[in-house]
Amino acid sequence: MTYESLKASIRDIPDYPKPGIVFKDITTLLKDKSAFRMAQQALTERYRSVPVDLVAAVEARGFIFGGALALTLGCGFIPLRKPGKLPAESLSEPYALEYGTDEIHMHRDAVLRDQRVLLIDDLLATGGTLSAAARLVEKAGGVVAGIGVVIELAFLEGRHRLRDYDVFAVVTYDSE
Amino acid sequence: MTYESLKASIRDIPDYPKPGIVFKDITTLLKDKSAFRMAQQALTERYRSVPVDLVAAVEARGFIFGGALALTLGCGFIPLRKPGKLPAESLSEPYALEYGTDEIHMHRDAVLRDQRVLLIDDLLATGGTLSAAARLVEKAGGVVAGIGVVIELAFLEGRHRLRDYDVFAVVTYDSE
């Protein structure tokens, strides 16, 4: 089954967040109940037979798909958060932004040794955030069971940075 | 059915985010697959027979429960976001913080006139954010079909501020 038809529900926002960038807006997909269900079903089908102990998703849009997927797969859920959001002792990993760096955080007790963790986000662009998320899981002793996203911007070659992992995208854009 | 047993999976963090406050940490509930499923099931049971067109959830933890609930109820999903996060034309509503104010935003085209919108968040404290969320839906011409949260801190009397709405909490704390 192909999910290319979902692209009709994803809105292009030209020059956002800055001139020359075309932002893929998934809020139009989310508010369309058929499109949202189809996108989620694609993730479910892909991971239904993969052994997974926990689904970890990246704040904030990743939570929309990751929480639902954890429930469907019968897993626990781990929020991967921006700095200053988690109340207990946390691990962190930096990742590069265009100018400077940011960090992603996870509670130290979120993952037990050898637990299999599926990483979910809405978008794969350069792969910086998801690469940091994978290092975070491994730092805690977990195993990355896969990386799943709704949208892949393939022309940014994020998959190359994630080449050590199994990466799945529901829909892929080969050019802007 | 009572969901009071879920409290065993919610972690108290004393003196967070500041001295004298006991923070209710749901990351321990989320990573426990049975507890997470039970919390979500409580929301599903409550709203299964309520007419709802859209589920709107408050960034970021509300997305974890709200996305899954929209899928279960067969609805579209609307993210209610902090300033600067939505790419298209948005409506906003201010709400009071202890010091100063913040804003919650929603895309102007998220809700059509008379659509029934269920509001979801993880926590009801003073009710400031959810009250602003309700005003946002009504400003767009929608109808608030209900307000559902996982945790209610009843001693903060947020329900009073939301007295015009039907409010449901999975678990309630009557004192700190």
Q: Nearest CA to CA, how far is B162 from chain A (Å)?
A: 25
- Omega of the bond leading into B17 within 30 degrees of 0 (cis): yes
C-alpha–C-alpha distance, residues A103 and A108, integer Å: 15
Q: Which residues of A are catalytic?
A: 61, 98
Exposure of A20 by Cβ count < 10 A (0-12 exposed, 13-18 middle, 19+ buried)? Answer: exposed
Which residues of chain B have a CB within 8 Å of the CB of A68? 67-68, 71
Please report, rounded to a whole number, the percentage of residues in chain B having pLDDT higher than 70: 99
Query: In this structure, what token pair is assigned to residue B158?
Result: 């947020």
pLDDT for B1: 59
Number of CB pairs, chain A paired with chain B, less than 8 A apart:
110
pLDDT, tens digit, for every residue of B93-139?
999 987 889 999 999 999 999 999 999 999 999 999 999 999 999 99
Q: Is the pLDDT confidence value at A135 over 70?
A: yes
- Minimum-distance CB partner of B40 among A64, A71, A79: A71
Locate the DSSP E strands across B26-142: 54-58, 76-80, 90-96, 101-107, 116-124
C-alpha–C-alpha distance, residues A166 and B13, integer Å: 36
Number of CB atoms found within 10 A of residue A126's CB: 17
Q: Nearest CA to CA, how far is A130 from chain B (Å)?
A: 18
Query: In this structure, what token pair is assigned to residue A31?
Result: 């508010």
pLDDT for A102: 95
C-alpha–C-alpha distance, residues B171 and B156, integer Å: 14
Identify the weakest region by mean pLDDT among A116-130, B95-109, B121-135, B141-155: B95-109
To test the contact with chain A by mutation, choose from B24, B64, B91, B120 the residue with the greatest count of A C-beta atoms within 10 A, namely: B64
pLDDT for A97: 85
Q: Nearest CA to CA, how far is B93 from chain A (Å)?
A: 19
- Minimum-distance CB partner of B30 among A64, A65, A77: A77
Helix (H, G, I), strand (E, B) or coil at B91: strand
In sequence order, what are the residues at sequence separation of 6 or more whose Cβ sits closer than 8 angstroms to the Cβ of residue B100? none
C-alpha–C-alpha distance, residues A129 and A133, integer Å: 6
pLDDT, tens digit, for every residue of A63-113?
999 999 999 999 999 999 999 999 999 999 999 987 889 999 999 999 999
Q: State how far the alpha carbon of A44 is from the alpha carbons of A25, A66, A111, A154, B38, in Å.
A: 22, 10, 22, 22, 20
Instruction: Please name the residue of chain A whose CA is at the shortest distance from the CA of residue B14.
Output: A87
Q: Is the pLDDT confidence value at B70 over 70?
A: yes
pLDDT for A99: 82
- Interchain pair B74, A36: CB under 8 A: no
- Interchain pair B87, A16: CB under 8 A: yes
Decide if B46 is catalytic. no
pLDDT, tens digit, for every residue of A11-48?
999 999 999 999 999 999 999 999 999 999 999 999 99
Which residues of chain A have a CB within 8 Å of the CB of B22? none
Place of tokens 């949260």: B149
Contact status of A33 with chain B (Cβ, < 8 Å): yes
- Which CATH number describes the domain made up of A50-173? 3.40.50.2020
Place of tokens 């039970």: B38
Chain A, 48 to 67: residues with Cβ < 8 Å from chain B are 54, 59-61, 63-67
Q: Is the pLDDT confidence value at B66 over 70?
A: yes
Query: Any idea of the CA torsion for A148, A150, A154, A159, to the nearest 10 degrees?
Result: -10
- Domain range annotation of chain B: 50-173
Contact status of B74 with chain A (Cβ, < 8 Å): yes
Q: What is the mean pLDDT of residues B65-88?
A: 98
- Interchain pair A30, B77: CB under 8 A: yes
C-alpha–C-alpha distance, residues A165 and A147, integer Å: 7
Helix (H, G, I), strand (E, B) or coil at B57: strand
pLDDT for A81: 98
* pTM exceeds 0.90 for this model: yes
Q: Is the pLDDT confidence value at A125 over 80?
A: yes
Place of tokens 């709704």: A150
Query: In this structure, what token pair is assigned to residue A121?
Result: 């986000």
